[in-house]
């Protein structure tokens, strides 16, 4: 009897486990129909770079990461590398990335870095046709490029709305990693609106979809079979996929496409300010109820911000009706505005909420940015690890100061630990008066290490001493 009861209990448990597994399997998405419908519009992109003595155009995989060790035995020890040295350094198609067809008359969207520097571009369709593409236009700042094929009645993808994308959603990528056409990988959205280093104008979609070299420029789909992003970058310390992939939102990309079609290039809005993040201490010092907004650390000369009388120390909390919670959110918002349009900026200035009107300018070319803004003072050029500038005559008169230097930016280091914030005027350091940039540099260079010294500042017109210690 006991054995019978035991078997019955075991049967119940096993049945429960099986039902749970079935329920789990039923909850997982099935991508087969999506892949079948979308794949015909996904293309492989190869480029030709003629040999020029600098290593470009050297072989079928030059300009691309090396084939991993795990694949080498499939091709023999000489593999790709061996054939590369046997062939002359001249034009040869290189499979570099992916793309997708956005219109039946032959427009193809991909990444700028996939076709950068190409002498010719070859697009291979799903039916194995190979067509030479014309570069309509390319935008390095968003890493997007628009190609045109001389063809009609081509299959196209469905364009979705990336603004509706939410963390936790299933997404799927189709591309040509390492030249393997129409490879499918899936995952979920990890975050939206991600800002990456040196990528100020793209609010990236972060996912855990496996992306590898060759996936660049390929589409990211939602479960409705709509393109919501263009796969662009991965975060890696090993050179391979580590679970962090970044895609360009399709809603922003299609705005770029329209400009590339019309002009072959993109015109972006520009304020002419250098901004920084607002932390807890800065929020308190600038009269904010909590850390939010983009702190104006510098107003560039001859800029729209200067014309609108923005001040260093202003905190931008909303732009054109859109709230700005983090400083990284501001550049994409500004960049999407048509130059010449007048918008409203909501600011916190000296603890007061104000609204000003500003006519958005055109973002200068990357090479001209230094000319417009001048070289930024280095934060690490002094032991305090702060950026300083000469005090403006207006501020000196208002606060009745005969000299001093203004803090323009604060990086992690002794200055930040002492409590220095943007807008402080340093008038005395280690018992010596600070009259100008020269005297500041001289005194700062001779500060003792491991010993606290006083620094006198003027903050909003009020003098204040802070303890400063430079670590040995």
3-state secondary structure 235-261: CCCCCCCCCCEEEEEHHHHHHHHHHHH
Tokens of 400: 């009745």
Buried b (16+ CB within 10 A) or exposed e, 68-97: eeeeeeeeeeebbeeebeeeebeebbbbbb
SS3 of residue 450 by DSSP:
coil
Residue 239: how many other CB atoms lie within 10 Å:
12
Tokens of 389: 């500038």
Tokens of 105: 């008359």
Q: Among all chains, which residue has been given the structure tokens 């480029």? A: 47
Q: Are 114 and 216 in contact (CB under 8 A)?
A: yes
Please pick, among 162, 190, 216, 245, the residue that the annotation labels catalytic: 216
Where would I find the H helices in 122-276?
A: 250-263
Q: What DSSP element (H or E) covers 22?
A: helix 2-27
Phi, psi of 2 (to 5 degrees): -60, -40
Q: Tell me, yes or no, if 61 is annotated catalytic.
A: no
> By C-alpha distance, which of 105, 107, 83 is closest to 94?
83
Q: Are 136 and 243 in contact (CB under 8 A)?
A: no
- Centroid of chain to Cα 414: 29
Residue 302: how many other CB atoms lie within 10 Å:
10
Please pick, among 139, 143, 314, 424, the residue that the annotation labels catalytic: 143
User: End-to-end alpha-carbon separation of the chain, Å?
Assistant: 79
Q: Which residues contact 179 (CB under 8 A, 6 or more apart)?
A: 44, 95, 214
> By C-alpha distance, which of 328, 327, 299, 326 is closest to 312?
299
What does DSSP say about strands 183-196 and 294-299: parallel, antiparallel, or unpaired? unpaired
Phi, psi of 7 (to 5 degrees): -65, -35
Q: Tell me, yes or no, if 85 is annotated catalytic.
A: no
Please pick, among 112, 113, 142, 303, the residue that the annotation labels catalytic: 113
Nearest-angstrom CA–CA distance, 174 and 320: 36
Q: Tell me, yes or no, if 92 is annotated catalytic.
A: no
> By C-alpha distance, which of 382, 372, 379, 395 is closest to 439?
382
The residues carrying an active-site annotation are 113, 143, 216
């Amino acid at each position: 009897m006991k054995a019978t009861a035991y078997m019955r209990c075991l049967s119940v448990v096993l049945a429960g486990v099986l039902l749970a597994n079935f329920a789990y399997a039923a909850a997982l998405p099935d991508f087969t129909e999506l892949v079948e419908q979308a794949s015909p519009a996904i293309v492989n992109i190869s480029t030709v770079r003629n040999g020029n003595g600098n290593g470009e155009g050297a072989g079928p995989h030059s300009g691309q990461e090396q084939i991993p060790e795990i694949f080498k035995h499939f091709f023999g020890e000489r593999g790709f590398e061996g054939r590369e040295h046997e062939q002359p350094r001249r034009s040869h198609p290189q499979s570099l990335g992916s793309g997708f067809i956005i219109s039946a008359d032959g427009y193809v969207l991909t990444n700028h870095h996939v076709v950068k520097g190409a002498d010719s571009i070859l697009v291979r369709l799903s039916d194995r046709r190979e067509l030479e593409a014309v570069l309509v236009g390319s935008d390095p700042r968003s890493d997007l490029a628009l190609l045109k094929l001389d063809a009609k009645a081509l299959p196209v993808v469905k364009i979705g709305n990336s603004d509706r994308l939410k963390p936790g959603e299933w997404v799927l990528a189709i591309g040509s990693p390492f030249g393997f056409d129409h490879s499918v990988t899936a995952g979920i959205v990890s975050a939206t609106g991600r800002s990456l280093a040196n990528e100020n104008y793209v609010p990236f979609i972060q996912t855990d979809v496996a992306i590898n070299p060759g996936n660049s420029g390929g589409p990211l789909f939602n479960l409705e079979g709509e393109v919501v992003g263009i796969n662009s970058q991965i975060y890696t310390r090993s050179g391979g996929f580590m679970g962090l992939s970044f895609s360009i939102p399709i809603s922003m990309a299609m705005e770029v496409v329209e400009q590339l079609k019309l002009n072959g290039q993109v015109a972006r809005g520009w304020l002419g300010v250098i901004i920084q993040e607002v932390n807890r201490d800065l929020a308190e010092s600038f009269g904010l109820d909590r850390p939010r907004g983009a702190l104006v650390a510098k107003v560039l000369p001859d800029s729209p911000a200067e014309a609108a009388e923005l001040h260093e120390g202003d905190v931008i909390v909303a732009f054109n009706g859109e709230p700005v919670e983090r400083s990284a959110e501001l550049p994409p918002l500004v960049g999407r505005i048509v130059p010449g349009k007048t918008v409203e900026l909501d600011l916190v200035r000296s603890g007061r909420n104000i609204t000003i009107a500003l006519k958005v300018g055109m973002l200068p070319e990357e090479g001209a940015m230094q000319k417009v803004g001048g070289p930024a003072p280095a934060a690490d050029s002094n032991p305090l690890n702060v950026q300083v500038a000469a005090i403006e005559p207006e501020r000196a008169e208002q606060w009745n100061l005969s000299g001093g230097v203004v803090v323009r930016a604060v990086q992690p280091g002794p200055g930040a630990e002492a409590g220095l914030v943007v807008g402080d005027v340093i008038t005395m350091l280690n018992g010596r008066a600070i009259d100008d940039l020269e005297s500041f540099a001289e005194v700062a260079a001779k500060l003792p290490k491991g010993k606290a010294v006083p620094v006198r500042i003027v903050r909003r017109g009020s003098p204040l001493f802070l303890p400063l210690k430079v670590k040995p």
